[in-house]
Amino acid sequence: MRIATWNVNSVRSRIDRVTAFLERHDIDVLAIQETKCREDQFPGLELSAMGYEFAHRGLSQWNGVAIISRVGLDDVATQFADDQPMFGDPEIVEARSIGATCGGVRVWSLYVPNGRELGHPHYDYKLQWLERLRQASAQWLADDPTAQIALTGDWNVIPTDDDVWDVTAFEGKTHVSQPERDAFHAVVDAGYADVVRPFTPGPGVYTYWDYQQLAFPKKRGLRIDFVLASQALASRVETAWIDREERKGKGASDHAPVIVELSEM
DNA sequence: ATGGTCGATATTCGA
């Protein structure tokens, strides 16, 4: 079974790339982030015609997450916790998480808050969001240590200095601060391993390149998109890769997809 | 790598 995660930066403007990606890599389950549309606007007809089911959480032109699967899509949840942190005026639970069981794997598509600036209310929201996710993720494994769980998505955290083209360019900025890195590693320590890194060793391996200032051809990227897997799922990982080719050309998302190949059970 | 931001209930805001 092959699962992937990809911040598509608008699913409506990118649907042809999404369907081509599913075919090119023979993907069974795709978690996407930043759909940037409401549920009634989701371009699902082409996916259905290809034999995929989908579940989408989208409230407005911001955020939005979905799971696309051809191996089942059960027990859909649009929050990882009843008390998931809220943001906005008025405060709402934003469309940043959706979970579903696909082919025996509990898959989460996660879009971690960006944080905007150190000290910004959005930064505190980001840290609270990650901590609440850690709590929920730890509880799932406490309930069933053999559960196959994939925490996938855009984490908006640069976990180590090897995961950014020049860490000095990020001094005083979000994504590299110690509280953010600690919050990310706390999820890992709860029992969820980065199953892609062993197959894509760095430095210089990234999943995101800014649209501005020729970041992609200049290889100025960040590694912020991850598949974190519970032990039972991690033991099934045969290989993984980042589809850097998808970042090329006109109409590319600023993020590249990340793919994990699992052995059959 | 074949390019010098992009997307949306846009004309500003979020990333």
Q: How long is the CA A89 to C1' B12 vector, in angstroms?
A: 18
Gap between the Cα atoms of A130 and A96, Å rounded = 12
| One-letter identity of residue A25 | H
Is beta strand A225-230 parallel, antiparallel or unpaired with respect to A149-154? antiparallel
Amino acid A236: pLDDT:
98
**Structural domain that includes position A113:** 2-262
Answer yes or no: is A213 CB < 7 A from strand B: yes
CA-based nearest residue to A34, from A223, A259, A242, A254: A254
Amino acid A26: pLDDT:
98
Amino acid A265: pLDDT:
80
CA-based nearest residue to A34, from A59, A8, A57, A13: A8
Neighbours of A224 (CB within 10 A): 22
A149-201 residue pLDDT tens? 999 999 999 999 999 999 999 999 999 999 999 999 999 999 999 999 999 99
| One-letter identity of residue A18 | V
Answer yes or no: is A89 CB < 7 A from strand B: no
**Strand B: which of residues 112-171 in chain A lie with Cβ below 7 A?**
113-114, 116, 122, 156
Amino acid A208: pLDDT:
98
Q: How long is the CA A265 to C1' B6 vector, in angstroms?
A: 42
Segments in chain A below pLDDT 50: none
**Are A256 and A244 within 8 A, CB to CB?**
yes
Chain B bases under 7 Å from protein CB? 1-10, 14-15
First to last CA, chain A: 9
Q: How long is the CA A37 to C1' B10 vector, in angstroms?
A: 14
Answer yes or no: is A9 CB < 7 A from strand B: yes
Q: Is A211 a catalytic residue?
A: no
Provide the b/e sequence for A60-71 (b: ≥16 CB within 10 Å): eeebbbbbbbbb
Number of domains into which chain A is organized: 1
Tell me the C-alpha to C-alpha distance, in Å, between residue A63 and each of A8, A66, A96, A205, A265. 11, 10, 6, 25, 34
Q: Of the residues A154, A163, A175, A208, which is catalytic?
A: A154
Amino acid A102: pLDDT:
98
CA-based nearest residue to A164, from A118, A219, A117, A112: A219
> What is this structure's pTM?
0.97
Read off the CATH number of the domain in which A185 is found: 3.60.10.10
